[in-house]
Amino acid sequence: MDKPVKYISMVALATPLIILSIFLIQVFMDGLPHLSLDFIFGSPSYDPSEMGIFPVIIGSIYIVGVSSVLSFLMGLGLSIYLVEFVTNERIKNLVYFVVDMLAGVPSVVYGLVGLGFIGYVLGAGRSVLTGSITMAFLILPLTVVATLEAFRSIPESLKMTAYSLGASRQEVVANVLIPLGLARALTGSILAVARALGEAAPILVISGLLFTKKVPISLLDEFTVLPLYIFNLVTRPQPIYKELASAVIIVLIAIFMLVSLTSIYFRLKYSYRLYEV
Amino acid sequence: MVNIVIRTEDLNIYYGKRKILEDVNVDIYENSISAVIGPSGTGKSSFLRSLNRLNDLIPGARVTGKVYYRGRNIYEDDVNVYLLRTRIGMVFQRPTIFPMSIYENVAFGLRINNVKDEDLIYKRVKEALIKAALWDEVKDRLDDGAYNLSTGQQQRLCLARTLAIEPDVLLLDEPTSYLDPKSTKKIEDVLLKLKERYTIVIVTHSLNQAKRIADYVLVFMPDEDNVGRLIEYGPSTQVLQNPVDPKTREYVEGLIG
């Protein structure tokens, strides 16, 4: 009985790995020849041989950075509130339900709502600010799951101990929950960062820019991001643009790897051995 | 004349709709060790937690009746529970160690209570570790992680942490149930010394432990509806050797529980 299950599992594991590898090999073969410092630090150009993507890289880092921080702070606040301050199970379940629903909303809808409300009603325009806030809400379900999981993993007994020593709820949050849960919450939120880095649809709605030579500096500047730029390149008919798109994909993967490695570093540095009860 | 430190009047404890402890009326005397004994599930731990209002934090738990601590009903609305808990300290069944150094574990309660003077913190930590009979074993490695200590040492560290904030009453919830006989004896010796300055209430599974250290014994027993009741209490020699209640007699003779 065990054998068939084993083989089916192996096939199930191997299939996506093989497909992904083929795809990655293709991307690297196409893209690597185009990668150069000029490509990374240059400006976009209509001439494929002079193409650079610096403003796009900065746009992506800007959006991901601001939205991750915003989303993490919101997730942190929400999780602390849920774990330590809400005792009514119904309210807790309602919040979980809303968060689950948010996760199920198509990302383009976030883009439309973000542009309509933050961009036009609040007047932030098609800016980095609008994009970041929208993206922060888009990835909020992921950060909430990550931070909740981190805070729930802290043994109840440690909280009780702090209370028995005269701690108030605020002091338990400041002295137990945050110090013991933060590292795990941060590394858990890496999925959210990856999501923000890879999203194209809401940015397509909000920024609408497929091409820009201007590096975004202020929060109110216009911008575009790597996934959108990849989209722009692959929609062109000439083969050279597909190769350039591969080069941009490599840059995107590299940025993601950098973020992951940073998170692993922090996890190793700040991981605590929590007493199991 | 012995001072009464804690007095309960018609103390009832519920979890949700289920009553788990009914009408406990008992006095806890100053500078004594009162042992709470009885079978599992008779509300011994809940009773203990009702004395420092830690039940407040357990979802569904509800307490009715009165608990006087030095003459003041702690269930009145204007009682500062945080201050109360610094006066009535607690040690749990399993050592609850923070992922910090030995020193910081003991200093934790002081820092939470906003003690800023590092010299004072050091003094209190040292005194507490001496009282808990742990100082000699850890004085050269105060900055080591507390996880490296043995379970017995960890439990004495928890005791030291509670002592560092200088409480008046110590509540201990089966503090030796995870410890070997040698570590248990160390804790018991510490408690016998501590009762000169503190009032101690200890929940224990072990009748022998009650015999060894208790001045007073409270016997909790379930009634027909499985609600815990205090069926007998008094000086330990009387309760353990000459019990009035037949159920207590069966229990101390090892027939039930």
What are A150-181's pLDDT values in tens digits? 999 899 999 999 999 999 999 999 999 998 88
Choosing among A153, A165, A176, which should be mutated to test the B contact, i.e. which has the most B CBs within 10 A? A165
Instruction: Kindly determine whether residue B96 and residue A157, on different chains, have CB atoms separated by under 8 Å.
Output: yes
Record the tokens describing residue B56, joined without a space: 């407040």
Residue A158 near chain B (CB below 8 Å): yes
Q: What is the pLDDT of residue B139?
A: 93
Per-residue pLDDT tens over the stretch B70-98: 999 999 999 999 999 999 999 999 999 99
Confidence band (pLDDT; 50, 70, 90) for A275? Answer: very low
Per-residue pLDDT tens over the stretch B130-149: 999 999 999 999 999 898 89
What number is the average pLDDT over the span A195-209?
A: 89
Tell me which chain B residue has its CA closest to the CA of residue A271.
Answer: B99
Q: What share of chain A has pLDDT > 90, as a percent?
A: 56
Q: What is the pLDDT of residue A271?
A: 64
Q: Is the pLDDT of residue A1 over 70?
A: no
In this structure, what are the phi and psi dihedrals at residue A124, rounded to the nearest 5 degrees? -85, -10
Q: What is the pLDDT of residue B256?
A: 63
With 0.80 as the threshold, say if the pTM is over it.
yes
Which residues contact residue B3 at a Cβ distance below 8 angstroms, ignoring those fewer than 6 apart? Answer: B29, B30
CA distance A192 to A148: 14
The radius of gyration of chain A's CA atoms, rounded to the nearest angstrom, is 22
Q: For A5-14, A46-55, A121-130, B78-87, which range has the lowest pLDDT when averaged over its residues? A: A46-55
CA distance A225 to B127: 61
Shortest Cα distance, chain A CAs vs residue B240, angstroms? 31
b/e burial code for range B114-125 (CB count within 10 A of at least 16 → b) = eeeeeeebeebb
Per-residue pLDDT tens over the stretch B3-46: 999 999 999 999 988 999 999 999 999 999 999 999 888 899 99
Tokens 């005194």: give the residue: B127
What number is the average pLDDT over the span A189-197?
A: 88
- Length of chain B measured in residues: 257
- For every residue of chain B, DSSP letters joined together read -PPEEEEEEEEEEEETTEEEEEEEEEEEETT-EEEEE-STTSSHHHHHHHHTTGGGGSTTEEEEEEEEETTEETTSTT--HHHHHHHEEEE-SS----SSBHHHHHHHHHHHTT---HHHHHHHHHHHHHHTT-HHHHGGGTTSBGGGS-HHHHHHHHHHHHHHT--SEEEEESTTTTS-HHHHHHHHHHHHHHTTTSEEEEE-S-HHHHHHH-SEEEEEEE-TTS-EEEEEEEEHHHHHHS-SSHHHHHHHTTS--
Q: Is the pLDDT of residue A276 over 60?
A: no
Q: Is the pLDDT of residue A149 over 50?
A: yes
Chain A residue numbers with beta carbons less than 8 Å from the beta carbon of B83 are 166
Tell me how far CA of residue B215 lies from CA of A83, B26, B209, B240, in angstroms.
41, 14, 11, 11
Tell me which chain B residue has its CA closest to the CA of residue A174.
Answer: B112
Nearest CB to A175 within list B89, B112, B147: B112
Shortest Cα distance, chain B CAs vs residue A266, angstroms? 16
Tell me how far CA of residue A74 lies from CA of A176, B188, B210, in angstroms.
19, 48, 51
What number is the average pLDDT over the span B113-124?
A: 94
Per-residue pLDDT tens over the stretch A62-98: 999 999 999 999 999 999 999 888 878 899 899 889 9
Chain A residue numbers with beta carbons less than 8 Å from the beta carbon of B90 are 164
**Domains, in order of start, for chain B:** 4-252 (3.40.50.300)
Tell me which chain A residue has its CA closest to the CA of residue B86.
Answer: A166
Shortest Cα distance, chain A CAs vs residue B257, angstroms? 25
What number is the average pLDDT over the span A114-118?
A: 94
Instruction: Kindly determine whether residue B92 and residue A161, on different chains, have CB atoms separated by under 8 Å.
Output: yes
Q: For A6-15, A58-67, A219-228, B248-257, which range has the lowest pLDDT when averaged over its residues? A: B248-257
Q: Number of A to B CB contacts under 8 A, please give it.
A: 68
Residue A168 near chain B (CB below 8 Å): yes
CA distance A264 to B8: 53
Tell me which chain A residue has its CA closest to the CA of residue B51.
Answer: A164
